[in-house]
Structure 1
Amino acid sequence: MSDVEPGDGNPYALDEGEPGVVARLRDWILLDGDRLVLAAMLSAAIFVLFLGLNALDVIAFTNDNSITRAASGMVAGTFSLVTLVVSINQLILSREFSAVGEARERLEGVMDLRREVEAAAEVPASPTAPARLLKLLLETIHARAGTLAESVEGQENEEVREAVGEYADYVRESTDRIDRRIDGARSDTFEALSASVRYDDAWQFYLARRLRNRHEEELNRGSIEAFDDLVEAVERFGVAREQFKTTYLQRELTRFSQLTILCGVPAILSALLIGFLYADVGGPAIAVDRLPVVVCALLTVIVSPLALMASYILRTATITRRTASTGPMLPGKEFRDRPFERRDGEE
């Protein structure tokens, strides 16, 4: 694939949002950042917040009744969170149990997709690794966009030639951009999926069908076949990404369940320990000057399952939201120009 930088002002390109530091920080929080690191940062922020509020005399840790009531609520809340996570884990496990017929259908569906990819890419066997398979599909889309551009070089209608040529250039620029992201992926599962969710395949699918149907009378047979081949390649990419997304989300939620259980036990013990610190009739069991640091540290441990849940839900919800549409359905998409303005008298 050629090293083409995506151009600005292409009438077919969607507006992908604000560039720069804000976008990179947002993507790191929502997608790219390590979930354990993000959860640790959230927990540390809570520790600093409570300690700072205490230093500003906004809150205090000397009232025995208030602290013990809060500790009781924390124990109940942590138990509820752990129960919720167990329910999520059971839901994931329920999808793994299937009869022989259902398991055979799932396997046949995957094998049919692999055979289609092999035939389209003209390779003896499609890769098993997600990154390599998505990369192969992107290369197939890139090659078919080039074939489409070549098929209209002799087109007499200049409007059609320019429109199809700009669309083919846009497709190749998009595939080059995502291909470079996959090449720079550190891991082979999430990094590839994270790159693929940024590929606007639904928009390209819609544009291809719209251009083909609008200029069908002016296009030759080779151009029509090139459009159909490109649409099929884009469809396969969407199906493969959906399969990898489902597999990844199952693995991610399972890991989240394990980590929540591991964090839940220390969180419950910390909540009980806060109650025991104030169980003495004479007041807290430790020195008053050390009380804010100790209680804030215990509170940080208590909220760690919540911080972990927030970090994982942010990523899974973002992936699901960005790949929620099936086919040329574009909720929430915005683009700079509208390349398909209605002709005079056209409905």
Structure 2
Amino acid sequence: MKGTKNAFVYVVCGSRKHIDTLHRSIKWLEWNANSDIMVVTDIYRNEIPVKHRHVIHVETPAHFNHHQASIYLKTSLHRHVPQNYEKYCYLDSDVLAINNGADQVFSLFTPPVTFAPDLPVAENNVSRFSPWAVNCPCTGLHDTASCGHLVAAIQQKFGLQVASDWVHWNGGVFVFNPHHSADFMERWHQNTMQILEEPYWQTRDQGTLIVTVWQKGLQNHPVLPQKFNFIADLNNAFLCFLPDEGYALHPDLPKINPVFLHLFHSNLENPDWSLKADVEEPLMSRNRIWTTVNKTDAKEEHWFTQHFRQHGIVNGMLPLFKRIAAQLAFMWQHNKA
């Protein structure tokens, strides 16, 4: 250990896939940060050893599965990390530090805790997150992309009213202090333990993070800038990347040059994984398709607008129908031949 005043901390339990993902994340963090790094784990659960200098073993309840055990450790980190560091930054194992200056995140700490907003898509809130937090009938897609089931579940379980349009926090990156954050973290932990084995609640800590924030009246608390937890969900069809500009959740949004890239649905455990080949190049291909489609749409809109500007709405209808009829007649003759 370097003996720095701040430290990064990870949590991992269970399968080789998660531990290999962790190893990659640690490597990238070592390239782009100077602070100490530690891993909290239950070593008796792991398929392979965690290869790192500073591993903290914490035995977890035996009846938990590995996912539940990881959440148990994450929400109780304030109990397990050394107390001599000023601040900690927790990172999910699928978060990569892709730029220098990762240590800057510590300067953004506002007690009691500092998280980033949960933005896997351009517009997100509690209702949009709801189908992914509870086991309701909603799919999270199309007509059931948003729902009120999480708000209702929070009201029923915790007696708390939460705004459905609130942009909640993401648990993948957050800064905390073992002393100043202890009360918040303990409440988060206890809230999570209440729902962890209830079948209606999905095995996650983010629903109870929402609960804890509102219990503490922190819904307007400062959050980390998006570049410290840019969520790159490769299933987001609008996600884009330009080499000279950075990433965006939608082509029409300003580009961001992330410090921490939070990668959803990317095989980080694969030894041959590459940021360029597995993330950047596929996104640039999407960009080219998006640009082509937009140009085509723009030309069609331009012709349509020009037509009615020339003829007017009423007088333009007959020439438009004639043009369509002529095109259909041409296609029929062509197919007949």
TM-score range, shorter chain: under 0.3
- Larger Rg computed on CA atoms: 1
Tell which has more relative contact order, 1 or 2 (C-alpha 8 A, sep 6+). Answer: 1
After TM superposition, the score normalised by the length of structure 2 is 0.21
Higher strand share: 2
